[in-house]
């Protein structure tokens, strides 16, 4: 939400899909999704009423308000005050929408500029009384830089990733780009399954930074990007995420996807005998290293394998009664 929804004017169509399979066959599974949608154009008052209603109906659940505002301290303060009055539990700040909003110095325009980000995070955290998460853009060379700035400026957590700047395609009939609005387009945000590997890499690097530079027990990391199954969610948690978010998956398959996802996540936990998220959070981070180290490890492993000689090296090594096993050890098939 933002203060003045009247400034948010969406166009239609605003989505474009990428399908797997030969020539993007209409039968292929949807793996990529581009949107040029802005934030919601519903009036702030309507959203605030619904936040209140949600907290009334589900008082034991966590409600996080996603907010963004123009480069204006008083505006941010008013917005934070108004969303907090509804009883929400936390705020996620959208510093990352890559299309439309940056033209108003919002979203990725802030998330890509560490000095601006520090200033705006300072305003927000001086005002907010609930935890604040900064939502990061992947459209930057090193995502750990803005993540570090957000955490150092008082944010309790970071969420990653927002969408990746993209052009879905060009129609070979009309020569016009997709999604096509009155014959024209603008680059938009890419999401869905195809972005999952990129999101995992970004979350991994943020988690490593948080582990080495912050006491990661006091901070929170939310993994986002291409999550459709419990396995996708487990991967983010294995890389250090405390929570996981789903957007395009639910847009395509409905809320039922979340129920299935939770069941699959529980099955994964049962399989490994994990009793809580903390039992496996960040466990896979230790398996990332440098390429130089991979080469060293492989050379060492080859040396070790060569050192293990198969079978008996001389007849002196027959043990007597162990001859059946020793014979087996020298059979090649
Ligand atoms: C149609 C659409 C609208 C979105 N609107 C917002 C938004 O208003 N604020 C925001 O922070 N992220 C927004 N996102 C980004 C998603 O929350 C999410 O970060 C991104 O799509 C990657 O996750 P996914 O692959 O599960 O969709 C939007 C994404 C889509 C596809």
**Average pLDDT, integer, range 264-272:** 98
Residue 177 banded pLDDT, cuts 50, 70, 90: very high
The pick from 189, 245, 258 for probing ligand 1's pocket by mutation, whose C-beta has the most ligand atoms within 8 angstroms, reads: 189
DSSP 183: T
pLDDT value, residue 217 = 87
Nearest Cα residue to atom 5 of ligand 1: 39
- Residue 311: what pLDDT? 82
Q: Name the more confident of 331 and 57.
A: 57
Calculate how far, in angstroms, residue 86's C-alpha sits from the geometric centre of ligand 1. 23
Q: What is the number of the ligand 1 atom nearest to the C-alpha of 135?
A: 11
More confident residue, 19 or 308: 19
162 Cα to the center of ligand 1, angstroms: 6
- Tell which wins on pLDDT, 40 or 239: 239
State the distance from the centre of ligand 1 to the C-alpha of 195, rounded, in angstroms: 12
pLDDT in tens, 46-72: 999 999 999 999 999 999 999 999 999
> What CA–CA distance (Å, rounded) separates 155 from 94?
13
Pairwise CA distance, residues 325 & 313, whole Å: 15
Instruction: Choose the catalytic residue: 97, 121, 155, 192.
Output: 97
Query: Which pLDDT score, from 0 to 100, does residue 184 have?
Result: 98
Determine the distance separating the centroid of ligand 1 and the alpha carbon of 218, expressed in angstroms. Answer: 26
CA of 38 from ligand 1 middle (Å) equals 10
The total of other beta-carbon atoms located within 10 Å of residue 40's CB is 15
Question: At which residue do the structure tokens 């890389």 appear?
Answer: 239
Mean pLDDT, residues 183-209: 98
Q: Which residues line ligand 1 (CB under 6 A)?
A: 33, 35, 37, 39, 66, 94, 97, 135, 162-163, 189, 191-192, 195, 224-227, 246-249
Q: Which of 135, 247, 251, 255 to mutate to test the pocket of ligand 1 (most atoms within 8 A of CB)?
A: 247
Span from the CA of 166 to the centroid of ligand 1 (angstroms)? 14
Local structure of residue 192 (DSSP, 8 states): S
d(C-alpha 140, C-alpha 83), whole Å: 29
> Which residue's alpha carbon is at the smallest distance from atom 31 of ligand 1?
248
For residues 212-218, give the mean pLDDT. Answer: 92
The closest alpha carbon to 252, from 35, 9, 36, 8, belongs to 35
**Given the CA of residue 35, which atom of ligand 1 is nearest to it?**
1
* Structure confidence by residue, pLDDT tens digits, 88-137: 999 999 999 999 889 889 999 999 999 999 999 999 999 999 999 999 99
216 has a pLDDT exceeding 90? no
Check whether 2 has a pLDDT greater than 90.
yes
pLDDT of residue 24: 67
What pLDDT does residue 272 have? 98
pLDDT at 59: 97
Residue 151's closest CA among 113, 112, 180, 125? 125
Buried b (16+ CB within 10 A) or exposed e, 223-239: bbbbbbbbebbbbbbbb
Is residue 185 over pLDDT 70? yes
Under the banding of pLDDT at 50, 70 and 90, the label for residue 175 is very high
The stretches of the chain forming alpha helices (DSSP H) are 44-57, 73-84, 108-111, 114-127, 144-152, 196-213, 230-238, 248-253, 256-272, 291-307, 323-328
Q: For atom 22 of ligand 1, which residue has the closest CA? A: 225
Banded pLDDT at 141 (limits 50, 70, 90): very high
Closest residue CA from atom 18 of ligand 1 = 162
> Any catalytic annotation for residue 97?
yes
Q: Model ipTM?
A: 0.99
CA of 80 to the centre of ligand 1 (A): 21
CA separation, residue 57 to residues 52, 60, 179 (Å): 9, 9, 38
Confidence of residue 230 (pLDDT cuts 50, 70, 90): very high
pLDDT surpasses 90 at 189: yes
Tens digit of pLDDT for each residue in 21-45?
A: 867 677 899 999 999 999 999 999 9
For residue 205, pLDDT beyond 80: yes
How far is the C-alpha of 241 from the C-alpha of 235, rounded, in Å?
Answer: 9
Q: What is the pLDDT of residue 221?
A: 98
Q: What is the mean pLDDT of residues 204-227?
A: 96
Domains belonging to the chain, first-starting first, are 5-286 (3.20.20.70), 291-328 (no CATH)
1, 90, 160, 162: residue to mutate for ligand 1 pocket, most atoms within 8 A of CB: 162
Nearest Cα residue to atom 11 of ligand 1:
94
Tokens 């997709």 belong to residue = 178
Q: Which atom of ligand 1 is nearest to the CA of 14?
A: 1
């Amino acid at each position: 939400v933002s203060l003045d929804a009247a400034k948010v004017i969406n166009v239609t169509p605003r989505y474009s899909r990428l399908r797997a399979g030969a020539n993007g066959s209409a039968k292929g599974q949807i793996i990529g999704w581009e949107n040029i949608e802005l934030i919601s154009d519903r009036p702030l008052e309507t959203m605030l009423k619904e936040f209140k209603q949600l907290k009334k109906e589900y008082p034991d659940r966590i409600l996080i308000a996603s907010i963004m505002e123009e480069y204006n301290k008083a505006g941010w303060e008013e917005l934070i005050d108004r969303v907090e009055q509804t009883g929400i539990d936390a705020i996620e700040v959208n510093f990352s929408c890559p299309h439309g909003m940056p033209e108003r110095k919002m979203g990725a325009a802030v998330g890509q500029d560490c000095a601006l980000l520090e200033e705006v995070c300072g305003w927000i955290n001086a005002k907010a009384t609930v935890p604040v998460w900064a939502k990061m853009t992947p459209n930057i060379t090193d995502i750990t830089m803005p993540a570090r700035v957000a955490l150092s400026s008082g944010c309790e957590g970071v969420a990653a990733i927002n969408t990746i700047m993209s052009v879905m395609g060009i129609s070979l009939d009309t020569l016009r780009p997709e999604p096509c609005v009155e014959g024209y387009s603008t680059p938009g945000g890419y999401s869905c399954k195809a972005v999952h590997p990129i999101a995992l890499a970004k979350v991994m690097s943020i988690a490593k930074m948080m582990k080495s530079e912050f006491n990661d027990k006091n901070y929170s990391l939310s993994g986002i990007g291409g999550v459709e199954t419990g396995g996708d969610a487990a991967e983010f948690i294995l890389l250090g995420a405390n929570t996981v978010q789903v957007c395009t998956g639910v847009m395509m398959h409905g809320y039922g996807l979340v129920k299935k996802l939770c069941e699959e996540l529980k099955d994964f936990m049962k399989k490994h005998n994990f009793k809580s998220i903390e039992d496996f959070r960040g466990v896979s981070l230790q398996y990332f290293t440098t390429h130089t180290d991979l080469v060293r490890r492989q050379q060492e492993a080859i040396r070790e394998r060569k050192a293990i000689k198969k079978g008996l090296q001389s007849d002196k090594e027959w043990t007597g009664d162990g001859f059946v096993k020793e014979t087996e050890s020298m059979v090649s098939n």
